[in-house]
């Protein structure tokens, strides 16, 4: 039934009541919205969804099918596009959400599932996207990439269906995407000699197609605010992650992080500079250092949930999937969705994001942020590394 509704919406003539005008945001491929929607439907399986051992979570096909519903219902508010391709040439899907009746004045990015087993972030991104599609904030454009590490996500799904509880983190090449960005990629701390595992990074900056795709997206979109969803720890983490020093805009970043977490209510996540989570810890080459240091974006890494391990259920103690994903994530999903909504409010009301200057990074990483619309020169569905 759902697939039939999607197909009817996609194939409806442009003058039909099912269709809504869909202005091109300007920085994605300038194709007809029908082409993008048809391409998305290629990714959605027809027929009833298959049963799987994690019914509280959406598998990848279910994530796309769920987002295809508002994309078909409100094509002017929800526009799917291909961010890039994975190592195995699978599309990485993004969704542009906005009020088509108002000009865009500020832009927010939301990314999830850079690490293969951290599904709770995808659930929060999905819930937030559905809410924003139904109730868009005028003037704010949101770009949601619910699953970045598509290849490894598929592997985890195969493991779960087969009853294998295998730990997976990196992409198909086993590279940690959260350590593959350019700014602060190489460790410099004294502690790297004593705790090398806490200072590791990828073989080279932007070595993977998934991270290059996010880098291109950040360059073209010029995000004012970006939130990358991980698990676990109940933290809102600010740059820097790769060096101990405070960033130049530390006070503004901390204030904005506090505004995000305050949207969660009584059990708000703690705000901390990521490199100061532990005196021996650094996250070299993280996406938040890259977005902030290279593009001047106010970037945050949110550790969703406080863990899925349950002291009274020994089966959860050694389950790698459960470590990051509670059996029932509904409360955690609501908490993080409220945090993301607080980010939208901060943008809409001209909070500290709007006045923060471009953040200086290492000299080789500094680049002026884009100021106008940027048109993608690689048509949707044909992006290749």
Q: Express each pLDDT in 232-251 by its tens digit.
A: 999 999 999 999 999 989 99
Residues 6+ apart with CB under 8 A from 15: none
CA 38-67-17 angle, 5° bins: 65
Q: How many CA atoms lie within 13 A of 97 on its CB side?
A: 28
Place of tokens 């000699």: 193
User: CATH: 3.20.20.70, 3.40.50.620, 3.40.630.10, 3.40.50.720. Which one for 74-365?
Assistant: 3.40.630.10
User: What is the per-residue pLDDT for 30?
Assistant: 41
User: What is the per-residue pLDDT for 262?
Assistant: 93
| Residue 47 buriedness (CB in 10 A; 0-12 / 13-18 / 19+) | exposed
- Tell me the pairing of strands 225-231 and 106-112: parallel
User: What is the per-residue pLDDT for 204?
Assistant: 86
User: What is the per-residue pLDDT for 281?
Assistant: 77
User: What is the per-residue pLDDT for 350?
Assistant: 78
Find the radius of gyration of the CA atoms of the chain. 20
User: What is the per-residue pLDDT for 278?
Assistant: 77
Residues 6+ apart with CB under 8 A from 381: 35, 39, 82, 91
User: What is the per-residue pLDDT for 47?
Assistant: 52
User: What is the per-residue pLDDT for 192?
Assistant: 59
User: What is the per-residue pLDDT for 197?
Assistant: 59
Residues 6+ apart with CB under 8 A from 211: 177, 180, 181, 287
Instruction: In whole angstroms, give the CA distance from residue 108 to residue 106.
Output: 7
User: What is the per-residue pLDDT for 14?
Assistant: 38
Mean pLDDT by 10 residues, the chain (385 residues): 45 38 52 55 61 91 94 92 94 96 95 97 98 96 97 96 93 94 76 55 87 96 96 96 92 94 93 87 91 95 95 92 95 96 92 44 42 35 34
E-state strands within the chain: 78-85, 91-97, 106-112, 140-145, 225-231, 235-238, 270-273, 298-304
Cα torsion 176, 202, 381, 102: sign:
positive
């Amino acid at each position: 039934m759902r697939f039939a509704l999607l197909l009817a919406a996609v194939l409806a003539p442009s003058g039909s009541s099912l269709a809504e005008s869909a202005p091109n945001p300007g920085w994605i491929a300038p194709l007809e919205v029908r082409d993008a929607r048809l391409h998305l439907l290629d990714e959605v399986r027809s027929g009833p969804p298959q049963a799987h051992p994690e019914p509280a979570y959406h598998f990848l096909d279910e994530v796309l099918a769920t987002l295809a519903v508002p994309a078909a219902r409100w094509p002017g508010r929800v526009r799917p596009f291909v961010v890039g391709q994975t190592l195995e040439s699978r599309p990485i899907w993004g969704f542009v959400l906005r009020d088509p009746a108002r000009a865009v004045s500020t832009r927010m990015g939301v990314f999830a599932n850079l690490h293969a087993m951290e599904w709770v972030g995808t659930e929060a991104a999905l819930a937030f996207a559905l809410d924003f599609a139904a109730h868009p904030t005028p003037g704010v454009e949101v770009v949601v990439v619910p699953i970045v590490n598509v290849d490894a996500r598929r592997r985890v799904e195969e493991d779960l269906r087969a009853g294998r509880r295998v730990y997976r983190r990196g992409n198909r090449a086993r590279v940690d995407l959260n350590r593959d960005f350019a700014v602060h990629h190489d460790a410099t701390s004294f502690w790297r000699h004593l705790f090398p595992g806490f200072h590791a990074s990828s073989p080279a900056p932007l070595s993977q197609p998934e991270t290059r795709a996010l880098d291109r997206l950040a360059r073209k979109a010029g995000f004012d605010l970006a939130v990358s969803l991980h698990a676990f720890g109940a933290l809102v983490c600010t740059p820097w992650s790769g060096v101990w020093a405070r960033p130049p805009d530390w006070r503004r970043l901390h204030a904005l992080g506090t505004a995000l977490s305050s949207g969660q209510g009584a059990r708000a996540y703690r705000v901390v500079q990521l490199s100061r989570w532990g005196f021996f810890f650094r996250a070299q080459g993280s996406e938040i250092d890259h977005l902030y240091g290279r593009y001047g974006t106010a970037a945050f890494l949110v550790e969703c949930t406080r863990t899925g391990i349950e002291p009274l259920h020994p089966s959860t103690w050694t389950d790698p999937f459960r470590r990051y994903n509670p059996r029932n994530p509904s409360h955690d999903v609501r908490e993080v969705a409220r945090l993301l909504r607080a980010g939208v409010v901060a943008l809409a009301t001209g909070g500290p994001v709007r006045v923060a200057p471009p953040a200086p990074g290492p000299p080789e990483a500094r680049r002026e942020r884009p100021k106008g619309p940027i048109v993608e020169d690689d048509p949707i569905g044909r992006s290749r590394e």
